[in-house]
Amino acid sequence: MKMKKSEKRFLIVLFGAFLILLPCIGQTEIPGKINYQGYLTSATGIPVNGTVAMVFTFYTVATGGSSIWSETQNVTVNKGVYNVNLGDVTSITGLPFGLPYYLGIKVGADPEMTPRIPLTSVGYAFRAKTVDSVGSHAHSGGDITTGTVSEARIDPLIARDSEVTATVNTHASRTDNPHSTTATQVGAVALNQANSISNLMIVDGSVTDAKITGLISGSKISSAGLNADTVDGKHASDLQARVTGTCPAGSSIRSINADGSVQCEIDSIAPLTQIPSSNTITTVDSTGTTGLYTSITIGNDGFPVIAYFHSGYSDLKVAKCGNAACSSGNIITTVDSAGMVGYSPSIAIGIDGLPIISYAEYVNTTTGYLKVVKCGNAACSAGNVIYIVDSAGRVGEFSSLAIGTDGLPVISYSDYTNSSLKVAKCGNISCSSGNTITTVDNSGSVGYYTSIAIPPDNLPVIAYGDYGSLSARVGTCTNAACTGYFGVTTIDSGYESRYFSVTIGTDGLPIISYSVRFPSGDWHLRVMKFGDPSPTEIGLGANTSITIGSDGLPIISVYYSGLLIVKCRNVSCTNSPYLFVDGGNVGAHNSITIGVDGLPVISYQDVTNGDLKVVKCANRFCVNNWSRR
């Protein structure tokens, strides 16, 4: 009966365009750089401020392959926005830009972002730079039809083959000065004079494409400069048009289309002021006794997706919401019904944009499996593939799944047979093969109500209960697969501890919510911030789930005489009151996440009716009709 939260991923939102200047022939040297702008947030959606190390890399393929250029810059980020010139550190002027290029971006110790970003055709305008050096190309007399280039257009000192040199020298040796020029006359051409033929000295259209070799093709060079159709065979339609699109208030540019229009996405932070409105509460599934062990995350489309257990049929189910509040258009799917399946599910979005869910199948008192379903679409309604990850004894209960910074899932779960905590590090994004199974703690009766999260260093952190010593534990792995030393810390003792939920704060350190049972039988909500000397006592409450709000502070959903939240006033949640969300015998099996609008959304069970419910908060505090002046 552990509540899950969505795995928070490091997100980079790219906007802006690659920009390069292409002057006319005879103007100053082209700056060998490409301007790039972006928008950078933390794993919780908070805009970054400060200086971060970023690695920019060019490839000729969308995935895999070797880099053809790379540089590292210390980038100043202001409220998430940054602006860099690619080529500031490592020159890019040597690149031919003759193939499709893809830009990879890596932030700090994180792996390179996926997918790579295709470079638009603007970047290939670098190749037009060769036009500036046309005058230095050597040509034979056979290259130019006799009489098409007049004497007034030729510098006597320009490099030419022996045939042209002989002809011009004969003319230059004449003593009658046929053109009546002087050494100081404007426009005069002297022997060996550098850059002597300028754009203005050539009559428009007089140099045909038959006279030029190399990268310039198509029709003639016009008075307006190079025709885009003649640059390396690229048509004008291949080049990036000027950006003309805009985004409405509350949205930002996500990508730029070839025609200059834009695609927008909702900003991740809710406005500070808003029209007063109420929370939206919806019964999503009311078929039988359902809505247990809910786990919620946000799909690739920005709408919630929820995994949960249907106890009436012993099935694993998924609800894909049709909008941000799950108030309409929802798709309900039974994902696995083969046996007693669906216990303690945990859902996350894989690097392919599709959900992946860990859960347990109970066979009997001595046998059970840890299973994973890799969804075939965003709703898990088709194309799903189910794998048994561990079947050694009765295993798989209290599973918790997160996606590592390497893109591979990692799962914590209970080994009931051996009273141990185990970790499965998947060998691929679907956990279909190459998985590594490790028992990380077998000291006592441990592994209950596990919750896992991935800090920026990709070393998993796991919170769980020890029934043997009546304590709450947190373990830190020393590698991504948890195969090495597992450092265990007891954060609370003397009470039975359950309902662990761990998230990563904006400082990269874990924050854990959990419940302890007092001798009176009452459950009390506590919060432990890594680095604090002791946990914070909040008050009565069970079934906790924690995440980080859009303000960078924790927010906790809890079950106590209804569904409540604790909006923490600081990272340790001291002096933080309960706020009422939904009344009655509701709120068990809750799971909280933050929508793309920066507002909380919570899945939970209506215990009285056995239904799955969802509340979409109207503001950061989930308080009806609250707003600032």
Q: Where along the chain do its domains lie? A: 12-130+238-266, 285-546
**Amino acid at the residue 616:** K
pLDDT exceeds 80 at position 249: no
The residues facing 106 across adjacent strands are 55
476-489: average pLDDT: 94
Q: Which residues contact 532 (CB under 8 A, 6 or more apart)?
A: 572
Average pLDDT over residues 256-283: 71
Ranking 198-202, 546-550, 620-624 by mean pLDDT, the lowest is: 198-202
Which pLDDT score is estimated for 202? 73
For the chain, what is the mean pLDDT? 83
Highest averaged pLDDT of the listed ranges 185-189, 508-512, 623-627: 508-512
How confident is the model at residue 537, as a pLDDT?
A: 96
Mapped onto helix, strand or coil, the DSSP state of residue 236 is helix
Task: Please tell me the distance from the alpha carbon of residue 402 to that of residue 308, in angstroms, as a whole number.
Answer: 17
Question: Interior CA angle at 138 toward 136 and 140, to 5°?
Answer: 150
Give the mean model confidence (pLDDT) for residues 281-293: 96
Token duo for residue 152: 């007034």
Q: Indicate if the pLDDT at residue 237 is higher than 60.
A: no
Q: Which CATH number is 285-546 given? A: 2.115.10.20
Mean pLDDT across the stretch 552-578? 95
The pLDDT, as a whole number, for residue 598 is 94
For every residue of 284-340, DSSP letters joined together read EE-SSS--EEEEEEE-TTSSEEEEEEETTTTEEEEEE-SSTTS-SS-EEEEEE-SSE
| Of 207-211, 341-345, 393-397, 578-582, minimum mean pLDDT range | 207-211
Structure tokens belonging to residue 266: 């909702």
Name the burial class of residue 174, with classes exposed (0-12), middle (13-18) and buried (19+) by CB atoms within 10 angstroms of its CB.
exposed
Q: What's the CA gap between 449 and 544, in Å, rounded?
A: 11
Please give the span between the terminal C-alpha atoms of the chain, in angstroms, as a whole number: 41
- DSSP structure class, residue 225: B
pLDDT digits (tens, 9 = 90+) for 18-34: 544 434 334 455 677 88
Whether 385 has a pLDDT exceeding 70, the answer reads: yes
pLDDT score for 80: 85
pLDDT tier at 125, thresholds 50, 70, 90: low
pLDDT band of 275, cuts 50, 70, 90: confident
Torsion sign (Cα): 416, 417, 419, 425: negative
What pLDDT is attached to residue 21? Answer: 40
Q: Count CB atoms within 10 A of the CB of residue 176.
A: 6
Mean pLDDT on 78-95? 88
User: Residues 188-198: pLDDT tens digits?
Assistant: 555 555 556 66
Mean pLDDT of 47-68: 91
Give the Cα separation of 25 and 199 in Å (integer): 7
Reported confidence tier of residue 79, pLDDT bands at 50, 70, 90? confident
* Run of H or E including 172: helix 162-172
Cα 368 to Cα 175, 390, 399, 409: the distances in Å are 106, 9, 12, 21
> Kind of pairing, strands 578-582 and 611-616?
unpaired
Q: pTM of the prediction?
A: 0.60
The residue-averaged pLDDT of 300-319 equals 94
Check if the beta carbon of residue 324 is closer than 8 Å to that of residue 597. yes
Pick from 221-235, 236-250, 477-491: least confident: 221-235
pLDDT one-digit tens code per residue, 156-186 = 555 555 655 666 566 666 666 666 655 555 5
Residue among 599, 567, 46, 541 at smallest CA distance from 271: 599
pLDDT exceeds 50 at position 1: no
Instruction: Please tell me the predicted confidence (pLDDT) of residue 173.
Output: 65
Asked if residue 244 has pLDDT above 90, the reply is: no
Q: Are 175 and 152 in contact (CB under 8 A)?
A: no
What pLDDT is recorded for position 228? Answer: 46
What pLDDT score does 32 carry?
A: 78
Mean pLDDT, residues 292-314 taken together: 94
pLDDT of residue 4: 36
DSSP state of 164: H
Q: What whole-number percentage of the chain has pLDDT above 70?
A: 73
Q: Which one has a higher pLDDT value, 313 or 54? A: 54
Rg of the Cα trace of the chain?
33
Query: What is the DSSP secondary structure assignment for residue 526, as one 8-state letter?
Result: E
Per cent of the chain over pLDDT 90 is 59
At residue 187 the predicted structure's pLDDT band, cuts being 50, 70 and 90, is low
Q: What is the pLDDT of residue 551?
A: 92
Answer yes or no: is pLDDT of 225 > 50.
no
- Over 342-395, what HEC string results? EEEEEEEECCCCCEEEEEEEEEECCEEEEEEEECCCCCCCCCCEEEEEECCCEE
> Looking at residue 12, what is its pLDDT?
43
**The domain 12-130+238-266: what is its CATH number?**
2.60.40
Element (H, E) at 169: helix 162-172
**C-alpha to C-alpha distance for 504 and 546, rounded to whole angstroms:** 10
Contact in structure between 92 and 103 (CB atoms under 8 Å): no
CA distance 441 to 369: 19
pLDDT higher at 78 or 294: 294
* 571 — pLDDT class (breaks 50, 70, 90): very high
Beta strand extents in 64-171 (DSSP E only): 69-77, 81-86, 102-107, 117-118
